[in-house]
């Protein structure tokens, strides 16, 4: 009895201490690392990395063919071309050709076609038996006329196994304020942005010239999704949301700079048709594990949401910018990576005056379609510096992920245009 009392008091005290001291916890400690050069990256033991392409442009998403060649989508056209085709030449990839006169983010291979997205449309190119584009100047337009107001205009794409393509349309706003990003401006009632943005749309993967009306408004309340992938094991869509910015800038009465630097969470959602993740009415607080009412809609940093929106499958510290998601289906990496999720975190900007965070690739172990354990930093060091105060100082920023035919993981960088290949060799 006495011992129990003592013990429980001790536990209570420890919990109180630990809750507070770990409140603003940043990235998790890394697993044991390998010591080789690895193109400047820090990796778990047994992995190695090399730069297989450098200075090719601002590469957003990438796709690797069954022959091991790479298609890279550019955010900024190079000689008027928005897609690069690179062929493996003894470990170094060389640019073969450029095509597609549009910039954008999406780049995936599906069912014998290369799909690429501009900031308004989705196109596809028929591939031959070597996965080379047959007719680079005449793509088929699959989806057209999606909104692009500058802000959050990436149209990332993924596919299910039933002939559908999923396209993100990001909200052209931070938090649906009457005056976007203006201190104290309140949210527009019944946020009108959500009718045509801030969600995921489903279209037919093989039908030409589809507009909004031809598609299914698959999920809503998602501020901006750049990374999304179909989980083949569970046959379901997963997305990574970029959470809202600037809680302190806009509502300093409720949030200090430290709190604002880690809130709200960057959320991973398992998405089913009809889901609503709650933007702009709520955000997710990953420390208290609660859905919180947005200050623009009457929140004060503490008030919980009165309506139940979708809870995240996993929540990460704020502002790290998840720009791609990939479920690993290869056989090269150790067993624990199979069917788990890799996430490329582009790196934060709105943590100032605190140091920025992200600029790494994370791994989340999965079992039966659910995350089983804590996330861990898989590849770090892209930024080239221990501490990044300002994103412009990062040498490289991870943006796209792809799996090679041999099970290697490819990571693109949209600062210098580097493509990294990460392999496991014991």
Partner 1 sequence: MNKIYIVGFSLIALGFVLTSGFKYSSVENSLIHSTFQQQRNPGEVVYKKYCISCHQADGGGVPNMSPPLIQTSYVLGDKVPLIKIVLNGLKNVDINDETYNNPMPALGSVLKDQQIADVLTYVRSSFGNKASAVTAGDVKKTRAEMKKKSE
Which residue in the set 34, 246, 329, 423 belongs to the binding site for partner 1 (CB under 8 A)? 246
Instruction: Give the residue with the Cβ less far from partner 1, 309 or 349.
Output: 349
Alpha-carbon distance 122 to 277, whole Å? 24
**E strands in 113-175:** 113-117, 122-126, 140-143, 157-159, 164-169
Alpha-carbon distance 158 to 135, whole Å? 22
**Candidate ranges 82-90, 201-209, 252-260, 289-297; the one touching partner 1 (CB under 8 A):** 252-260
Which residue in the set 112, 145, 184, 373 belongs to the binding site for partner 1 (CB under 8 A)? 184
Question: Interface with partner 1 includes 12 (CB under 8 A)?
Answer: yes
- Give start and end residues of each alpha helix (H) in 47-155: none
**E strands in 184-265:** 199-204, 216-220, 225-231, 236-241
Judged on CB neighbours under 10 Å (0-12, 13-18, 19+), 140 is middle
Which 3 state secondary structure label does DSSP give 378? strand
Question: Interface with partner 1 includes 35 (CB under 8 A)?
Answer: no
Interface residues for partner 1 in 406-425 (CB under 8 A)? Answer: 415
Question: Interface with partner 1 includes 393 (CB under 8 A)?
Answer: yes
Residues 326 and 338: beta-carbon distance below 8 Å: no
Instruction: Give the residue with the Cβ less far from partner 1, 151 or 276.
Output: 151
- Three-state secondary structure along 67-105? CCCEEEEEEEEECCEEEEEEEEECCEEEEEEEECCCCCC
Question: Interface with partner 1 includes 390 (CB under 8 A)?
Answer: yes
Instruction: Give the residue with the Cβ less far from partner 1, 110 or 242.
Output: 242
Residues 366 and 340: beta-carbon distance below 8 Å: yes
**Candidate ranges 129-137, 230-238, 243-251, 309-317; the one touching partner 1 (CB under 8 A):** 243-251
Which among 142, 147, 155, 157 has a CA at the least distance from the CA of 209? 142
Question: Interface with partner 1 includes 258 (CB under 8 A)?
Answer: yes
> How near is the Cβ of 9 to partner 1 at its closest, in Å?
4
Question: Interface with partner 1 includes 306 (CB under 8 A)?
Answer: no
Residue position matching structure tokens 């791994």: 363
> How near is the Cβ of 13 to partner 1 at its closest, in Å?
3
Question: Interface with partner 1 includes 20 (CB under 8 A)?
Answer: yes
Structure tokens at 403: 């799996």
Which residue in the set 80, 368, 392, 425 belongs to the binding site for partner 1 (CB under 8 A)? 392
Question: Interface with partner 1 includes 391 (CB under 8 A)?
Answer: yes
- Residue 27 to residues 97, 258, 267: CA-CA distances in angstroms? 39, 15, 15
> How near is the Cβ of 215 to partner 1 at its closest, in Å?
24
Question: Interface with partner 1 includes 352 (CB under 8 A)?
Answer: yes
> How near is the Cβ of 198 to partner 1 at its closest, in Å?
16
Instruction: Give the residue with the Cβ less far from partner 1, 163 or 184.
Output: 184
| Residue 381, phi then psi, degrees to nearest 5 | 105, 5
**Candidate ranges 82-90, 93-101, 174-182, 279-287; the one touching partner 1 (CB under 8 A):** 174-182
> How near is the Cβ of 184 to partner 1 at its closest, in Å?
8
Instruction: Give the residue with the Cβ less far from partner 1, 131 or 148.
Output: 148
Which among 151, 156, 163 has a CA at the least distance from the CA of 244? 151
**Across the strands, what pairs with 2?**
none
> How near is the Cβ of 122 to partner 1 at its closest, in Å?
20
Residues 157 and 117: beta-carbon distance below 8 Å: yes
Instruction: Give the residue with the Cβ less far from partner 1, 21 or 90.
Output: 21
Question: Interface with partner 1 includes 195 (CB under 8 A)?
Answer: no
If binding means CB under 8 A, how many residues of this protein chain bind partner 1? 43
Interface residues for partner 1 in 98-157 (CB under 8 A)? Answer: 149-153
Structure tokens at 177: 């304020």
Q: Please, which residues have CB within 8 angstroms of residue 195's CB and are 6 or more apart in sequence?
A: none
Alpha-carbon distance 39 to 421, whole Å? 9
Which among 167, 104, 103, 115 has a CA at the least distance from the CA of 140? 115
> How near is the Cβ of 256 to partner 1 at its closest, in Å?
6
**Candidate ranges 85-93, 180-188, 310-318, 367-375; the one touching partner 1 (CB under 8 A):** 180-188
Question: Interface with partner 1 includes 179 (CB under 8 A)?
Answer: yes
Which among 97, 112, 215 has a CA at the least distance from the CA of 155? 215
**E strands in 242-307:** 266-271, 275-276, 282-285, 290-293
Interface positions with partner 1 (CB under 8 A): 2, 5-6, 9-10, 12-14, 16-17, 19-21, 23, 75, 149-153, 179-185, 245-246, 249, 252, 256, 258, 349-350, 352-353, 389-393, 415
């Amino acid at each position: 009895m006495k011992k129990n009392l003592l013990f429980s008091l001790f536990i209570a005290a420890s919990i109180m201490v630990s809750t507070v001291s770990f409140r603003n916890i940043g990235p998790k400690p890394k697993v044991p690392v390998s010591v080789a050069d690895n193109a400047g990256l820090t990796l778990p033991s047994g992995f190695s990395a090399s730069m297989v392409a450098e200075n090719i442009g601002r590469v957003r998403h990438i796709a690797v063919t069954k022959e091991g060649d790479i298609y890279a989508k550019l955010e900024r056209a190079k000689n008027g071309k928005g897609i690069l085709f690179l062929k493996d030449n003894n470990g170094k990839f060389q640019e073969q050709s450029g095509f597609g006169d549009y910039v954008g983010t999406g780049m995936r291979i599906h069912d014998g076609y290369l799909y690429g997205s501009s900031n308004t449309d989705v196109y596809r190119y028929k591939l031959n038996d070597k996965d080379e584009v047959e007719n680079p100047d005449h793509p088929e337009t699959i989806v057209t006329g999606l909104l692009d107001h500058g802000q959050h205009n990436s149209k990332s794409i993924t596919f299910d196994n039933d002939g559908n393509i999923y396209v993100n349309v990001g909200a052209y706003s931070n938090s649906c304020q009457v005056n976007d990003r203006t201190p104290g401006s309140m949210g527009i009632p019944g946020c009108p942005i959500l009718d045509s943005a801030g969600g995921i749309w489903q279209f037919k993967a093989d039908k030409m010239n589809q507009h909004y009306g031809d598609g299914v408004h698959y999920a809503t309340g998602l501020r901006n999704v750049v990374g999304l992938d179909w989980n083949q094991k569970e046959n379901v869509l997963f997305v990574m949301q970029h959470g809202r910015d600037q809680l302190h800038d806009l509502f300093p009465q409720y949030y200090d700079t430290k709190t604002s630097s880690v809130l709200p969470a960057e959320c991973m959602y398992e998405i089913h048709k009809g889901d609503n993740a709650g933007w702009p009415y709520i955000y997710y607080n990953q420390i208290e594990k609660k859905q919180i009412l947005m200050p623009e809609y009457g929140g004060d940093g503490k008030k919980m949401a009165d309506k139940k929106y979708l809870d995240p499958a996993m929540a990460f510290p704020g502002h790290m910018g998840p720009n791609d998601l990939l479920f690993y289906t290869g056989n090269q990496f150790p067993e624990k990576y199979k069917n788990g999720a890799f996430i490329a975190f582009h790196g934060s900007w709105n943590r100032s005056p605190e140091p920025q965070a992200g600029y790494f690739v994370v791994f989340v172990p999965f079992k039966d379609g659910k995350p089983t354990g804590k996330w861990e930093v898989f590849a770090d060091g892209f930024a080239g510096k221990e501490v990044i105060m300002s994103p412009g100082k990062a040498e490289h920023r991870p943006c796209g992920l792809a799996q090679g035919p041999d099970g290697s993981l490819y990571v693109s960088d949209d600062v210098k245009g580097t493509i990294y290949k990460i392999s496991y060799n014991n």
